[in-house]
């Protein structure tokens, strides 16, 4: 754990000069959670993994929600900017190029919000079990930024229509979106790792 920048985080330097991965955990996770996923996806890349600053019954998250799937959008906006500022700060501190966000669940949702509000801080994103983070985002231009969305067909938290709407929303900003749906629920599977690592290394 490192706390000298504005988020508690872990940083692991990789040997590759390819874009580092920004790992964003789900509700109740922390900066350690997705390090093994990051290494499985791209063993050579640098990994930057912050801990969400919001606590819900003691569980770290990246923004507040009013109920499951119902977001406090003012907080989503504030926290997306805060995290985007951290990416810039960490980029200078560790001499990193713009990262590719790899977010799971709540981490995918804050990554989606950053794509819509601060697209310039990310090279692209892998959104695992993501939903629409903002009902009426400002008009953004993602200029062919690559985005992979992987949904679960039987995800009890995220209706298929919501994940599809997120894909459409991002396509409308001119992102280069690939949306895949796996025969699984909310949790990650080996198929997620296989798909995402292929996409990252294409």
- Smallest gap from Cβ 109 to ligand MLT, in A, equals 4
Q: Is 186 a catalytic residue?
A: yes
Q: Which is nearer to ligand MLT, 43 or 69 (CB)?
A: 69
Interface pick for ligand MLT out of 106, 128, 170, 200 (rule CB under 6 A): 106
Assess 68 for contact with ligand MLT (CB under 6 A). yes
> Which residue out of 33, 105, 151, 179 is catalytically annotated?
105
105 belongs to the catalytic site: yes
The nearer residue to ligand MLT, 46 or 105, going by C-beta atoms, is 105
Q: Does 4 bind ligand MLT (CB under 6 A)?
A: no
The reply on whether position 27 binds ligand MLT by CB under 6 A is yes
Q: Which stretch binds ligand MLT (CB under 6 A): 84-92, 105-113, 163-171, 192-200?
A: 105-113
SS3 sequence of the chain? CECCCCCCEEEECCCCCCCCEEEECCCCCCCCCCHHHHHHHCCCCCEEEECCCEEECCEEECCCEEECCEECHHHHHHHHHHHHHHHHHHHHHHCCCCCEEEEECHHHHHHHHHHHHCHHHCCEEEEECCCCCCCCCCCCCCCCCEEEEEEECCCCCCCHHHHHHHHHHHHHCCCEEEEEEECCCCCCCHHHHHHHHHHHCC
**Rg of the chain (C-alpha set):** 15
**Catalytic residue chosen out of the listed positions 9, 33, 155, 192:** 155
- Closer residue to ligand MLT, CB minimum distance, 24 or 121: 24
CB nearer to ligand MLT: pick between 109 and 173: 109
Can residue 151 be called a binding residue for ligand MLT (CB under 6 A)?
A: no
Using CB under 6 A as the criterion, which residues of the chain lie in contact with ligand MLT when the complex forms?
26-27, 65, 68-69, 105-106, 109, 157
């Amino acid at each position: 754990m490192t706390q000298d920048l504005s988020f508690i985080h872990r940083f692991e330097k990789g040997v590759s000069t390819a874009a580092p991965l920004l790992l964003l955990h789900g509700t109740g996770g922390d900066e350690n959670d997705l390090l093994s996923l990051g290494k499985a996806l791209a063993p050579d890349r640098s990994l930057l993994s912050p801990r969400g600053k919001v606590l819900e019954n003691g569980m770290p998250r990246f923004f507040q929600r009013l109920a499951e799937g119902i977001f406090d959008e003012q907080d989503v906006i504030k926290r997306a900017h805060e995290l985007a500022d951290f990416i810039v700060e960490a980029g200078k501190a560790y001499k990193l190029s713009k990262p590719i966000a790899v977010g799971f669940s709540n981490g995918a949702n804050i990554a989606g919000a950053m794509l819509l509000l601060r697209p310039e801080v990310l090279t692209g994103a892998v959104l695992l079990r993501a939903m629409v983070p903002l009902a009426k985002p400002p008009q953004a231009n993602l200029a062919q930024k690559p985005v992979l969305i992987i949904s679960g067909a039987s995800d009890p938290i995220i209706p298929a229509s919501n994940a599809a709407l997120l894909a459409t929303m991002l396509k409308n900003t001119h992102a280069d979106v690939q949306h895949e749906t796996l025969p699984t629920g909310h949790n990650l599977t080996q198929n997620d790792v296989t798909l995402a690592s292929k996409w990252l290394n294409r």
